[in-house]
Amino acid sequence: MSSFNLRIACVMVGLPARGKTYISQKVCRYLTWLGIKTKVFNVGNYRRKLHGASLPHTFFDPHNPIGEQHRKEAAAAALEDMLGWFDNEQGIVAIYDATNSTYQRRKWLHEELTKQDILVLFIESICQDESLILNNIKDVKLSSPDYVNMDPDAAAVDFRARIDHYQELYQTITEEDFTYIKLINVGSQVIINMIQGYLESRIIYYLMNLHIAPRKIYFSRHGESMYNVHGKIGGDSELSPRGKLYGTKLPGLIRENLGDQSLTVWTSTMKRTIQTGELLPYPKLTWKALDELDAGVCDGMTYEEIEEKFPEDFANRDEDKFNYRYRGGESYRDVVLRLEPVIMALERHENILIIGHQAILRCIYAYFMNYNHEDLPYIKIPLHTVIELTPKAYGCEEKRFKVDIEAVDTHRPKPAKIVHPTPSINTSVSGNGEKLSLKLPAGASGEIVKDALSPILPISPKLHPRGVAIK
Ligand code: ATP
Ligand code: F6P
């Protein structure tokens, strides 16, 4: 069992084309970004593997006993793999993505999971908006592996018939003693029941922030700063002349792509991001949480100076850049935690432009583009480049617009050579494995602070429904 004494299975519920896979993927991406080991188990994939794709709608007819048997087999195979994953890979949250549209199916899942001491959170999506369902069918179902090489109109007719078969037996969730959330018409109404514990509440809060209105998310670093020109990190310096010029080009570029749609601009509290956005004719908000990663005692130095003054720190950072915390400053891991409210707000909003910093934009970009923690600190976010993300059904489409104004390159690639960091000192460890102290004596090295497997979001141990911790 996981050392956090907490395992949650999110079990999706709903008719076909109600966004269950979409929700599963989003929750998985969010929790993984927060360092919580999460995996989706899609029963449709097991069904295709066991019984083949391209099955006609009659396979899903509840009066077809062979289809019924095959569907049960797929559900059981997915459940078996999920239980194995919890036990063998110390998973924390599994998402069981299937229709689970009858009391009987949910009862079976609930029994099998609770037997293994796994908390069950049912997530039901209900949608009565016919045009949205039609759109979902066109958007994702016609291109699914179930309908390869099939005429789109015939595929749409078949998929509607599949929905009708499920509709025949569908029972919305009303089980009073089950933990569940019901999202009705993309969260315009939400019903929750028996939610326990911090992590479940975070998942619920995240789900309540999701919307599917089409929109664009733009990222730009500030224009080149004087510190960038001198190769220094951190600080709160002015823009360079080229950086100021970039600020004058930004409004035209955004307008060209967005037309007269509305937009909100978010900046950090630092001069270089505020100055870059000055000419943009949109409402603006400054966020302290968007300030650049704090380099602590290394703030204002060049990488060469850091290597010379603090060679051990430098080597430690190269060894594990995500978890390395600057003395008196932050790690990328710390930054992800402080950006969590920004991600929630981003999910709620429509068109947004974030004018940010290299490390900050790497963290936010990694959330949308599903980068792992090891690669995250090396993502290329060049100066004088606007990145446009368009959320799609199961991910984001990306475009990059390079503005033709030269700027220095601040990307420092991962060194190819193997570095041997000096073991960190000051290793007092708290109950959850986190090193406690940052007060290092002069000359001591900065630290790789956390066990890479422990979650970034502090998740509480499992709670009894009445709130008593279970030992
Ligand atoms: P199936 O049971 O066939 O696997 P599904 O319920 O998993 O279907 P998805 O594949 O997730 O459906 O459908 C994706 C589409 O659903 C996307 O176009 C997305 O915009 C839309 N969508 C996302 N959330 C919701 C929601 N809460 N209600 C309705 N549609 C949604
Ligand atoms: O060099 C620009 C900068 O934004 C610095 O202020 C910051 O410390 C650095 O990038 C973050 O990038 P890295 O984590 O690669 O050092």
Q: What is the pLDDT of residue 459?
A: 77
Cβ 35 under 6 angstroms from ligand 2:
no
As a whole number of angstroms, the distance between CA 202 and CA 144 comes to 31
As a whole number of angstroms, the distance between CA 427 and CA 434 comes to 9
Residue 356 identity (one-letter amino acid): G
Cβ 18 under 6 angstroms from ligand 1:
yes
* Closest atom, ligand 1, to C-alpha of 99: 2
Give the model confidence (pLDDT) of 110-137 as tens digits.
Answer: 999 999 999 999 999 999 999 999 999 9
Q: What is the ipTM of this complex?
A: 0.92
CA of 111 to the centre of ligand 2 (A): 50
Cβ 325 under 6 angstroms from ligand 2:
no
Concerning whether 292 is annotated as a catalytic residue, the answer is yes
Question: What residue owns the CA closest to ligand 2's atom 14?
Answer: 359
How far lies 360's CA from each of 91, 144, 312, 338, in Å? 28, 35, 24, 10
Number of Cβ atoms within 10 Å of the Cβ of 151: 10
In order, the DSSP letters of 134-147 are: HHHIIIIITTSGGG
As a whole number of angstroms, the distance between CA 148 and CA 143 comes to 7
CA of 186 to the centre of ligand 1 (A): 10
Cβ 338 under 6 angstroms from ligand 2:
no
Q: What is the pLDDT of residue 417?
A: 67
4 pLDDT more than 80:
no
Number of Cβ atoms within 10 Å of the Cβ of 125: 22
Cβ 287 under 6 angstroms from ligand 1:
no
Concerning whether 224 is annotated as a catalytic residue, the answer is no
Q: What is the pLDDT of residue 457?
A: 81
Cβ 32 under 6 angstroms from ligand 1:
no
CA of 357 to the centre of ligand 2 (A): 8
Per mean pLDDT, which range of 65-69, 86-90, 172-176, 462-466 is the poorest?
A: 462-466
433 pLDDT more than 50:
no
Cβ proximity of 13 and 107 under 8 Å: no
Mean pLDDT of the chain: 91
**Kind of pairing between the strands at 38-42 and 93-97:** parallel
422 pLDDT more than 70:
no
As a whole number of angstroms, the distance between CA 367 and CA 396 comes to 11
Q: What is the pLDDT of residue 436?
A: 30
pLDDT average, residue stretch 35-55? 96
* Ligand positioned closest to the Cα atom of 124: 1
Helix axes 198-209, 20-33, angle to 10 degrees: 120
DSSP-derived 3-state class of residue 211: coil
Q: What is the pLDDT of residue 454?
A: 78
Question: What residue owns the CA closest to ligand 2's atom 5?
Answer: 233
Beginning with the edge strand found earlier in the chain, give each strand of the sheet holding 395-402 in spatial order: 284-286, 264-267, 352-356, 217-221, 385-392, 395-402
As a whole number of angstroms, the distance between CA 412 and CA 261 comes to 36
CA of 284 to the centre of ligand 2 (A): 24
12, 18, 47, 99, best to mutate for ligand 1 pocket (most atoms within 8 Å of CB) = 18
Using alpha carbons, select from 23, 300, 305 the residue that is nearest to residue 140.
23
Q: What is the pLDDT of residue 1?
A: 42
Per mean pLDDT, which range of 270-274, 388-392, 417-421 is the poorest?
A: 417-421
Cβ 74 under 6 angstroms from ligand 2:
no
* Closest atom, ligand 2, to C-alpha of 299: 8
CA of 86 to the centre of ligand 1 (A): 26
Cβ 183 under 6 angstroms from ligand 1:
yes
Question: What residue owns the CA closest to ligand 1's atom 17?
Answer: 393
Q: What is the pLDDT of residue 30?
A: 98
Question: What residue owns the CA closest to ligand 1's atom 22?
Answer: 19
Cβ 329 under 6 angstroms from ligand 2:
no
Give the model confidence (pLDDT) of 251-305 as tens digits.
Answer: 999 999 999 999 999 999 999 999 999 999 999 999 999 999 999 999 999 999 9
Q: What is the pLDDT of residue 295?
A: 98
User: Any idea what the Cα angle at residue 99 is, between residues 97 and 103, rounded to 5°?
Assistant: 120
Q: What is the pLDDT of residue 440?
A: 37
How far lies 226's CA from each of 30, 223, 229, 235, in Å? 35, 10, 5, 10
For residue 449, name the pLDDT band (cuts at 50, 70, 90): confident
Q: What is the pLDDT of residue 259?
A: 97
Six-digit token pair at 464?
């009894």
CA of 26 to the centre of ligand 1 (A): 11
220, 225, 233, 303, best to mutate for ligand 2 pocket (most atoms within 8 Å of CB) = 233
CB burial readout 296-318, b (16+ within 10 A) else e: bbbbebeeeebeeebebbbbbbb
Concerning whether 222 is annotated as a catalytic residue, the answer is yes
136, 158, 397, best to mutate for ligand 1 pocket (most atoms within 8 Å of CB) = 136
DSSP-derived 3-state class of residue 60: helix
357, 363, 408, best to mutate for ligand 2 pocket (most atoms within 8 Å of CB) = 357
In order, the DSSP letters of 20-36 are: HHHHHHHHHHHHHHTT-
2 pLDDT more than 60:
no
pTM (predicted TM-score)? 0.92
* Closest atom, ligand 1, to C-alpha of 135: 18
427 pLDDT more than 90:
no
Phi, psi of 337 (to 5 degrees): -65, -40
